Amino acid sequence: MNPTPTSDTPFTAGITSFRQHVFDLLDTIHAKTLPAIEKAADLLVAAIKRDAIIHIGGAGGHSQIPAMEMFYRAGGLANISIIFGPGLGLFDGKPCLERVPGMGGFTMAYHDVRPEDVVIIVNYYGMNAATIDLALAAKARGCTVIGITSTMFSRNTPADFPARHPCGKNLEDVVDLILDTHTSIDEQIVPVAGFAQKVGVASTLAGCYLTQLLTIRTVEKAVALGLQPPVWMCANLPGGDRTNDDHLKKYLPRVRHLYPEGETFRGD
121, β-bridge pairs:
57, 147
- CA distances 196 to 12, 192, 206, Å, are 18, 8, 25
* pLDDT exceeds cutoff 60 at 5: no
In a domain, 28, yes or no: no
Give the whole-angstrom CA distance, residue 205 versus residue 28: 13
Q: What pLDDT does 59 receive? A: 86
Q: What pLDDT does 267 receive? A: 75
In a domain, 259, yes or no: no
Domain of 210 in residue numbering reads as: 34-251
- pLDDT tens digit string along 22-37? 999 999 999 999 999 9
| Residue 77 near residue 53 (C-beta atoms within 8 A) | no
Mean pLDDT on 109-133? 96
The DSSP bridge pattern shows strands 118-122 and 144-149 to be parallel
Residues 6+ apart with CB under 8 A from 3: 9
In a domain, 79, yes or no: yes
- pLDDT tens digit string along 48-107? 999 999 999 998 888 999 999 999 999 999 999 999 887 887 777 666 888 989 999 999
Give the whole-angstrom CA distance, residue 46 versus residue 50: 6
| Residue 124 near residue 153 (C-beta atoms within 8 A) | yes
Q: What pLDDT does 91 receive? A: 77
- pLDDT tens digit string along 250-265? 999 999 999 887 677 7
Give the whole-angstrom CA distance, residue 85 versus residue 57: 8
Question: What letter does residue 231 receive in the DSSP assignment?
Answer: B
Stronger pLDDT, 116 or 89, i.e. the higher one: 116
| Residue 190 near residue 178 (C-beta atoms within 8 A) | no
- pLDDT tens digit string along 199-251? 999 999 999 999 999 999 999 999 999 999 999 999 889 998 889 999 999 99
Give the whole-angstrom CA distance, residue 31 versus residue 40: 16
* pLDDT exceeds cutoff 70 at 1: no
In a domain, 5, yes or no: no
Q: What pLDDT does 93 receive? A: 60
pLDDT tier, 184 (very low <50, low <70, confident <90, very high otherwise): confident
Q: Sheet with 80-83: list strands edge to edge.
A: 80-83, 54-58, 118-122, 144-149, 177-180
In a domain, 159, yes or no: yes
Give the whole-angstrom CA distance, residue 142 versus residue 123: 21
In a domain, 258, yes or no: no
Q: What pLDDT does 115 receive? A: 98
* pLDDT exceeds cutoff 60 at 3: no
How many domains does one find in the chain? 1
Q: What pLDDT does 89 receive? A: 79
Give the whole-angstrom CA distance, residue 37 versus residue 5: 36
* pLDDT exceeds cutoff 70 at 9: no
Give the whole-angstrom CA distance, residue 267 versus residue 260: 10
The DSSP bridge pattern shows strands 54-58 and 118-122 to be parallel
In a domain, 4, yes or no: no
Give the whole-angstrom CA distance, residue 124 versus residue 150: 6
Question: What letter does residue 53 receive in the DSSP assignment?
Answer: -
CATH of the domain at 154: 3.40.50.10490
In a domain, 8, yes or no: no
Q: What pLDDT does 86 receive? A: 78
Average pLDDT, the chain: 91
pLDDT tier, 197 (very low <50, low <70, confident <90, very high otherwise): very high
Of 43, 38, 33, 68, the C-alpha closest to 144 is 43
